[in-house]
Amino acid sequence: MNDFENEIRNLKNKIEIKKKDFIFLVSDITKLMFYFKKENINFNIDFFLDTILEKIGVDGTLVLPTYNWDFCKGVKFDYNNTQSVTGVLGKVALKRDDFMRTTNPIYSFAVAGKEKDKLYNLKHSSCFGEDSPFSYFHKNNVKYLSIGVDYKFLGFTPVHYVEEKVGVSYRYFKNFKGKYIDKNGEEKDASYKFYVKDLSKVSMTGIKAKTDDQLISIGAMKKYYFCEENFMSIYLGPALDHLIQDTTINNEKNRLIFPIKNDKIKRSKINELDA
């Protein structure tokens, strides 16, 4: 076993990946790649994914975001060919036979494992609605695993599920219609509903720093540090329950989730993760 394989196997144990885990993985994998490069070790993305899948086993599930917002701009969505714009892991997964893409043209996922067919067959019209993958993740207490990305600043898309469920004042439903080429290559007209930002009220969704302590206190989050990077695991069942309750009972000023109205905020290169 080479140095890279040893490090990755140590990593999966360090962040407590277990058999039967249902994992929603979000990462800035370039940070891990940079770490290994400094150590003169080649980073193998397929082995990284294989190691996680081996650990969770046949009864586990691994979900990777493969979002693309071009459908909102009138661009045809092609199930087999439209690229993910949310990181290299999703792009690699879409090329593998053991992953299947879910069907939403805006918020799709590459899925491998036990729940693959169930997630593919969710015929939902609202990106964050009760019949969407995000609701499924909530109801099934999926483990949201963040590598090198702080959920409070980037990438925690389930926050928009909370906003839609509660009905925040700074977002509204918008229908997007366009051409959709399905898995079998058949083209059809499609319409999807998206709880979008009211740009007169909000530039992005913020999550307050004290959310960490609250989620840790209820057993919904753990933090780790490995390979010079921060890792977080968030159990979406209790975490989203907590955020939904907080957003429901508190006014906008006191909520953990809040609208940020500064149009000049600098966003990262994958800024649309918080679309």
The ranges of the chain with pLDDT < 70 are: 1-2, 12, 228, 263-275
pLDDT for the residue 263: 54
User: Which of 104, 126, 105 minimizes the C-alpha distance to 195?
Assistant: 126
What's the pLDDT score for residue 228?
Answer: 67
Q: What is residue 182's three-state secondary structure?
A: coil
- CB–CB of 6/13 below 8 Å? no
Say how far residue 61 (Cα) sits from the centre of its chain. Answer: 14
Burial tier of 256 (Cβ tally within 10 Å: 0-12, 13-18, 19+): buried
What are 229's strand-pairing partners? Answer: 226
pLDDT tens for 209-257 read 999 999 999 999 999 877 767 789 999 999 999 999 999 999 988 999 9
> For position 103, what pLDDT does the model report?
97
- Could you say which DSSP state residue 126 is in? B
Q: How far is CA 158 from CA 134, 236, 240, in A?
A: 6, 8, 8
Tell me, yes or no, if the pTM score tops 0.85.
yes
